Structure 1
Amino acid sequence: MLNLERLRTLDALARHGSVSVAAEGLHITTSAVSQQMAKLEREVGQQLLARNGRGIRLTDAGRLLAEHAARILSQVELAQSDLEAQRGQVAGELRLSAFPTAARGLFPTALAELRQRHPALRVRSRELEPERGIRGVVRGDLDLAVVLDWHNKPMPLPDGLVKALLLDDPADVALPAGHRLAGRDEVDLAELAEDEWITWGEGEFCHEWLMLTLRSRGVEPVVGHRAAESHTQLGLVAAGLGVCVAPLLGRNPLPEGVVTVPLRQRIQRHVFVVWRADADRRPSIRAAVGALRAAGERVGGTADGAPTAASTAS
């Protein structure tokens, strides 16, 4: 009889393509992955893995069994979800991620509420950029991920995920206190055409959004500095090294020497949480979504509307 944990290990290898990454996702050692696979190969009487240079690849038998493993694990997830729903208890382990400003602006409030209201629920959280969070939910490494898109650039989501809006997060422009436009009530993006921009890493979703937005307003951006974390960007602004977009969520307290000014072309990002549709009935998922939405309301955003399927809402 096939062992479920060994099938889970095979599934992780098929999804990640790496023993070390699979081990990290499963929270076990690389030697434990190798041992599980050796036992699974003895169980099925076929070779499932083959060396591929310094890495590994699945054999034909390995790919076939991995396809079955993915379906079996999905059914197990559905069974667990139905059992949790029948019990109605918020318990067990829940794994969450959020991009940095959401982790700072939402997690302290939401996770403290979950701990107080549901002491039998063990929450594990980490910071991940939106794309990595979504991949983690799809792979099953995460139960929930807080992600974002922008009003003019939706974040593509795979089928099989459900999402709920947490808040609409308005963004201003952050300027050095001595900037020529620092005292204005609002500024136009075109007025910043000669400024150096501080942005995210090349190829990141938010960087691509900023380039799209500036160019749509006739501004060919001059990128002076890149930083993944918003407070690093604001620190560079404080040093007089450029300007940046400053969403409201998680930006306070502003560093000394930085002012924010509203943009005439109002821009905002949509912050939402995603999870797998096959886990939709789990009380722990519902409790976490409720706590995150309540935290979003406290920071002044809006979070109207019921959860929606990613295939129809993204």
Structure 2
Amino acid sequence: MLDVRRLRVLREVASHGSFSAAAEALSYTQSAVSQQIAALEREAGAQLVERSARGIKLTDPGRALVAHADAILARLADAEEELLAINGLRGGRLRIAAFPSACAALMPQAIATFRDRHPGVELSLTPAEPPEGLTLLRAGDVDVALAIEATGPPARTDSADLDALTLLDDPMYIMLPRDHPLAGSSRLKLADLADEEWMIGSGRTTCPDTSIFLRACQAAGFEPRMAFNLDDYNAIQGFVAAGMGISFIPDLALINLRDDLVIRSFGSGRAPVRRIVAVTLSDSYRSPAKQAMLDVLVEVSGAFGARRTELALAS
């Protein structure tokens, strides 16, 4: 029978590409990782890893085993969570992944509210962009992941193994340096900004914010010229303030706006909107702690939406 702990070691070796990196991630020695892999190969009756001077490569049996490892480890994490939940909300743990703007705007109040109501539950928060957060969720490393979708009811995900709960529709604004020629306009037409250089999200079209931005520009009749690709809206603010370009910015990211920037609404039509969702595994155990956190996230997100910032209308 295969040892689950050794499956976890194999997954880390495959993820990091070397025994030494896997050892560091697991807080093991490199020798211990090597011994665990050798023992797993004996259990599997097949060579799982090819070793060379340039690192390691999985064999076909190794790739097959790793493909099953994530699901096995996720189910075991569910089993542990269910056992911990026997004591209801008097104990147990809950692990959450959230992207940076949600970490700044939603999670502080959500965690404070949850801890006030359920102090016996151990909480952890991992900052992770949506694709990485969903990877952590599928691997069983977190219980809830906050993600971003394009709007369009109902809330959905790209995979049948995930359930998405809508938290908030988060509108986009246009961010300009304060000395920009159009900074005095209260509202802007996107088509009037076709000749500008832009910064938004990463360069990956699979990034939700990037895809929302590109579709909005295409609908306005132009392909944007990208100055830099950045994943952090705090960094984007710095580049915009330095005159390197302009950017979209979502409402969640306005919580720590710089003084040398202005935010403007879209002058006509509906502003591009990203939908914030809380994602769970569709067939995972819904522990009392997990359900309580989902309820708190809905509550906190609703309160945030009710006091929607009016910075876009400021001069």
TM-score scaled by structure 2? 0.80
Aligned counterpart, 2:126: 126
Cα distance change on mapping 1:120 and 1:85 into 2, 3 Å: closer
Letter in 1 for 2:186: D
Moved more, 78-87 or 182-191: 78-87
Aligned counterpart, 2:160: 159
Alignment of 1:30-179 (within 5 A): 31=30, 32-41=32-41, 47-51=47-51, 54-59=54-59, 62=62, 66=66, 69=69, 72-84=72-84, 87-89=87-89, 91-151=91-151, 157-179=158-180
Cα distance change on mapping 1:128 and 1:18 into 2, 3 Å: farther
Moved more, 87-96 or 272-281: 87-96
Q: How far apart in 1 are the matches of 2:64 and 2:261?
A: 57
Q: How far apart in 1 are the matches of 2:216 and 2:73?
A: 41
- Deviations along 1:221-241, whole A, 9 cap, x unmatched? 122233221122122222333
* Contact map agreement 1:189 1:219 (CA 8 A) in 2: no
* Contact map agreement 2:175 2:263 (CA 8 A) in 1: yes
* Shift of residue 79, structure 1, vs aligned partner: 3.5
* Contact map agreement 1:171 1:248 (CA 8 A) in 2: yes
* Contact map agreement 1:15 1:139 (CA 8 A) in 2: no
Task: Please provide the CA RMSD for this pair.
Answer: 3.1
Moved more, 245-254 or 63-72: 63-72
Aligned counterpart, 2:272: 267
Letter in 2 for 1:29: Y
SS at match of 1:190: helix
* Shift of residue 274, structure 1, vs aligned partner: 1.1
Matched-pair identity in %: 36
Letter in 2 for 1:101: S
SS at match of 1:146: strand
- Deviations along 1:119-178, whole A, 9 cap, x unmatched? 2222221221111111121122222211112338x9863331121111101111112223
* Shift of residue 21, structure 1, vs aligned partner: 6.2
Aligned counterpart, 1:28: 27
SS at match of 1:114: helix
Cα distance change on mapping 1:68 and 1:145 into 2, 3 Å: closer
Cα distance change on mapping 1:41 and 1:210 into 2, 3 Å: same
SS at match of 1:88: helix
Aligned counterpart, 1:297: 302
SS at match of 1:300: helix
* Contact map agreement 1:90 1:284 (CA 8 A) in 2: no
Q: How far apart in 2 are the matches of 1:64 and 1:214?
A: 42
* Contact map agreement 1:165 1:272 (CA 8 A) in 2: yes
**Count of residue correspondences:** 300
Cα distance change on mapping 1:73 and 1:141 into 2, 3 Å: closer
Cα distance change on mapping 1:221 and 1:138 into 2, 3 Å: same
Aligned counterpart, 1:251: 254
SS at match of 1:210: helix
Cα distance change on mapping 1:155 and 1:62 into 2, 3 Å: same
* Contact map agreement 2:41 2:48 (CA 8 A) in 1: yes
Q: How far apart in 1 are the matches of 2:87 and 2:172?
A: 42
Q: 1:286 aligns with which of 261, 282, 291?
A: 291
Aligned counterpart, 1:198: 199
Aligned counterpart, 1:235: 238
Q: How far apart in 2 are the matches of 1:60 and 1:78?
A: 28
Q: 2:229 aligns with which of 215, 221, 226?
A: 226
Cα distance change on mapping 1:301 and 1:15 into 2, 3 Å: farther
* Shift of residue 87, structure 1, vs aligned partner: 4.3
TM-score scaled by structure 1? 0.81
SS at match of 2:298: helix
1:276 aligns with 2:281: yes
Letter in 2 for 1:283: P
Moved more, 128-137 or 292-301: 292-301
- Deviations along 1:238-262, whole A, 9 cap, x unmatched? 2333221121113123211211111
